[in-house]
Amino acid sequence: QKEVEQDPGPLSVPEGAIVSLNCTYSNSAFQYFMWYRQYSRKGPELLMYTYSSGNKEDGRFTAQVDKSSKYISLFIRDSQPSDSATYLCAMSRLYGQNFVFGPGTRLSVLP
Amino acid sequence: DVKVTQSSRYLVKRTGEKVFLECVQDMDHENMFWYRQDPGLGLRLIYFSYDVKMKEKGDIPEGYSVSREKKERFSLILESASTNQTSMYLCASSFTTGTGSAYEQYFGPGTRLTVT
């Protein structure tokens, strides 16, 4: 079993839809959770960061962490074609160290 | 604005060649990382460095070595390239854990290496 699992997609949605992206993990020691966005032919860039369980909102993006279920989610409201990218979840046990990345979900938002 | 640059966007090498991938960051970050990214496998850590002349093995160091002679520069070396090292290579940097933003890694654009 991989340490971090993520549905690779591709996921296609119409513009304006609510998108739900998810990761599951097996290591209960993970405490720091991140979502990165990677556009084609570019490196990943940090989108959201959360510590431990709970929700965090930033504009159209909401990150949720459920440590009891070992499950994290990223919601995108009012999705736009510019949101089309690969979304990678990442997590770590120690602050700023030993990041483990999921394989990424490719999202296409159709105009 | 943080910038991480990588020496080449695309590289084609022959089996057995020695390959150098260079990474430079301009934010005075202490930490630097080398990953490879393959479809379905995500990013896998090859090596990282927390300081000049320091290096630590990641999850898949076999067949690779690294060099960090200056704080801003981190090199990945494939001593004898093999076809299974064909991949996208990503360099990243971050602040040390003593700061408030050590969770964020800044990535370069990647080098797509093909070994034939």
d(Cα A65, Cα A85) in Å, to the nearest integer?
22
Shortest CA distance from B93: residue in chain A: A96
Tens digit of pLDDT per residue, chain A (111 long)?
678 999 878 899 999 999 999 999 999 999 999 999 999 989 999 999 888 888 999 999 999 999 999 999 999 999 999 999 999 999 988 777 778 999 999 999 999
Look-up: residue for tokens 């279920």?
A: A69
Contacts of A41 in chain B (CB under 8 A): 109-110
Selected residue of B48, B103, B104, B107 to mutate for chain A interface (largest A Cβ count, 10 A) = B103
Angle at A78 between CA A73 and CA A83, to 5 degrees: 70
Q: Which of B40, B105, B108 sits opposite A8 (nearest CB)?
A: B40
Helix residue ranges per DSSP H, A23-80: none
Q: Are B105 and B93 in contact (CB under 8 A)?
A: yes
pLDDT of residue B38 exceeding 70: yes
- Evaluate whether B87 touches B113 at the Cβ level (below 8 Å): yes
Residue-wise burial string across A58-68, b where 16 or more C-beta atoms lie within 10 A, e elsewhere: eeebbbbbeee
Identify the band that residue B60 occupies on the pLDDT scale cut at 50, 70 and 90. very high
Phi, psi of A81 (to 5 degrees): -55, -30
